[in-house]
Amino acid sequence: MKISKQELNELSNNLLFDMSEKEYETLQEEFEVILEQMDLIGEIENIDDVKPMVFPYLIKGHELREDEVDNILSKEDVLKNAKDTMMDMIKVKKVVG
Amino acid sequence: MSYLDLPISKIHELLVNDKITYQDLIKEALEKAHKYQPTLNLFETIIDNPSFNGLDKSNPLFGIPYVLKDNFSTKGILTTGSSNILKDYVPVYDATVVEKLRNSGAILVGKTALDELALGGTGTNGHNGPVHNPYNLDRQSGGSSGGSVVAVSSGIVPFAIGSDTGDSTRKPAAFNGVVGFKPTWGLISRYGLFPFATSLDHVGIFTRNVLDCAYVFENLAGYDSKDMSSANTIKTQYSKNLDNSLKGKKIGIIKEINDSMSNSLVKDNMSGVISLIKNQGCEVKEFNVDERLLRAILPVYLVISCSEATSNDACLDGIRYGIREEGETYIKSIINTRTKGFSELVKRRFVIGSYCLKAENQEKLFIRAQKVRRLIVDTFNKIFEECDCVIFPASGDVAPLIKGASDDEKLSSKYLIGENHLAIANFGGFPSITIPSGFINEMPIGINITGKCFDDQKVLDIASGIENTLGLKDLVKEVK
C-alpha cells in the first residue's frame, strides 16, 4: 500500500511543519518498508491475543503522592528561560481574537 | 605526559598521592578538547571554566573530567540537543545525572554533539555536521551519542555520558573501540534527559574498560523521586563486587543473529571470541529465535519510538521551548519555527509516529508493535532461564563512511536483523554492554553482552572476564 503525498501533507500540517516534495518522496519509500514489515508481523500466529507491552516491566513504588509543593523553580530562573518578558510575565504572541 | 589516557583507577591513585592535581587534569582535558575539536567536530560546548565540587577524595571519580551528551539539562549551560530549534536553550535546572556526578567530584568539561534530538544512529545528523571517527576521519562516529564516544576513544576524557534508545551507546562503542553500557531500565534516573521514546530511553556510559564503567555506574545508580520510571533498588558496589572469572558461566548465542552479520570477518571474530571463552570454562549454548521476530525488531522499534517521540517533542514549538520564528498568527509562527528548526530526518520520524498514532491505524501499527515487543522480550527472558547472558556481535560491520550517511539513515529492509538487534535490550530494559573485540582493517569492532533485568552485576562480571581474556582495553586513538 502506498501512502499518498496528500495524506503525508495532512500529517505534517497536523504536526505543524512543512516538508518539501522530495522529503515526501523519501517518506513514501520509508512507509512502504514499514507497512510491508508490519503486515508480515500480522502473520505471526495469535499476535492479536498478546498483551501490548508498554514499559519493560511493571513500575512499583510510584503511588500517587500528596499534593504538596515540591521541586519548584524560582521565578527568576523561569523568567531567565523566556525569550520575551513583561514585568513578571512571559510574553507570547497573541493567541485569541 | 598524558594522564587522561589512563584508567580511572590509575588517575585516582595519582590524585590521592598528590602526584597530580585536578587542575592538571582539567588543563589537559581542555587542551585536548580545543585541539581535537576542529578535526573531530565532537563538541557543542567546551566548558572552559568548569566548576568543581569534590568533597570525598576517596571516590574514584573525584577530580576526573568528563563530558556529557548535549541532551542532558545543565543549569546555566547551553543544551541544544544538536538541534537548530534549541540552539539558544539554556536550562534552568540540572539533570539528576549531572547533580550526582558533581557530588562525586567529577568535573564536566564539555557538552557533546549528537544526532539531532538523539533520533539517529550515525553521528552525522547534528545541526553542526558530522562527528568524525578518530580511527578514520572519513568514517562515522556512530550515534546518536557520537560526540561522547569520540571524546573517550580519542583520550580527551576517561568517561562520558550518553543516552541509548535503540543502541545509541552500545553501537558507537563498537565503532570506536571503547566500552558502552546501558544498565537495566530504571536504575539510572532520566530526570533532565530530553525524552525521545520514554519506554525505551536509557542513560548510557562510555569508558575504556569495564572496571571504570562500574565506578561510573555505581555513582549514578539509585532511586530518584523525580523520575517516575526510577527503580527502587539496593545500592550496590559494582566495582568492588566485580568478578572476572568465566568458569562455569553459561553464555547463549543466537544463530539467526550471528548468521545475519554482513561482514564475514565479524562472524570470524565472534567465533574466535567464543572459542577463547570456552577455553576459560564458559559453557556456550546456541539458541534459535524465530526469524520473523528478529526481522520485526526494526519496524517495531520505529513504530514505538517515532510515536513516542512525536508526542514528547510536541513542546518544541518556539512558544514553550526553542527559537521563535515570526509569523502572521500564533499557529503560523509555530509552523515557521518547526519547519526551520527540525532537520528532514527528524520531521520524517515525526510523520511516521503521527501516522501510527492516528485512531484508524493505532491498532494495526502502534498497539501491534507493542504486542510484538512483548513476544520478543518474552523470547529472550525464556533464553535467560537457561543462561547467564547472551552475546552477539555489536554490529554487522565496522563504522560506515560519513559519505552516504543519509542513505544509512533512510529506512530499508536490507539489513533487518544484523544492524538492529541491540534494540532488543531497549525493548526489555535489559542490562547490555559492548566491549572491544578486535579490528578489521584497523577499524575497531565490538561484541555485546546482554542479560536479564537487574542482572547488571552479572553482565559486568562476564564483560570483565571477556575483556581480560581478549586483552583489549584502555584503547586510545591519538588524533594527528
Interface predicted TM-score of the whole assembly (ipTM), two decimals: 0.92
Is residue A61 scored above 70 in pLDDT? no
> In chain A, what residues touch B377 (CB-CB under 8 Å)?
53, 56
Chain A nearest-CA distance from B8, in A, is 32
- Domain of B336, CATH number, reads 3.90.1300.10
B452 touches chain A (CB under 8 A): no
Q: Which of B317, B335, B374 shows the shortest C-beta gap to A51? A: B374
Q: Which of A11, A50, A94 shows the shortest C-beta gap to B374? A: A50
Q: Which of residues 226-245 of B touch A (CB under 8 A)?
A: 226, 228-229, 231-232
Cell 527568576 sits on residue = A76
What does the alpha-carbon distance between residue B111 and residue B109 come to, in Å, rounded to a whole number? 7
Q: Which of A30, A44, A60 shows the shortest C-beta gap to B348? A: A30
> In chain B, what residues touch A82 (CB-CB under 8 Å)?
none
Grid cell in block for residue B55? 568533597
Sheet holding B283-287, edge to edge: B43-46, B107-112, B65-69, B159-164, B202-207, B179-182, B432-440, B443-450, B389-393, B250-254, B283-287
Mean pLDDT by 10 residues, chain B (480 residues): 93 97 97 98 98 91 98 97 96 96 98 97 96 98 97 98 98 98 98 97 98 98 92 92 97 96 95 97 97 93 96 91 89 95 95 96 95 97 98 97 80 76 98 98 98 98 98 94
Q: Which chain A residue has its CA at the smallest distance from B302's CA?
A: A34
Confidence class of residue A62 from pLDDT cuts 50, 70 and 90?
low
B91 touches chain A (CB under 8 A): yes
> In chain B, what residues touch A33 (CB-CB under 8 Å)?
299, 411-413
Per-residue buried b or exposed e for B22-34, using 16+ beta carbons within 10 Å of the residue's own CB: bebbbebbbebbe
Chain A nearest-CA distance from B206, in A, is 23
First to last CA, chain B: 16
Q: Residue B139: what pLDDT?
A: 98
Q: Residue B19: what pLDDT?
A: 97
Number of domains in chain B: 1
Q: Which of residues 152-211 of B touch A (CB under 8 A)?
A: 185-186, 199
CA-closest candidate to residue B358, choices A63, A14, A34: A14
Domain coverage including residue B116: 1-480
> In chain A, what residues touch B223 (CB-CB under 8 Å)?
61
Grid cell in block for residue B86? 534549541
Catalytic residues of B: 69, 144, 168
Chain B nearest-CA distance from A4, in A, is 12
Q: Residue B198: what pLDDT?
A: 96
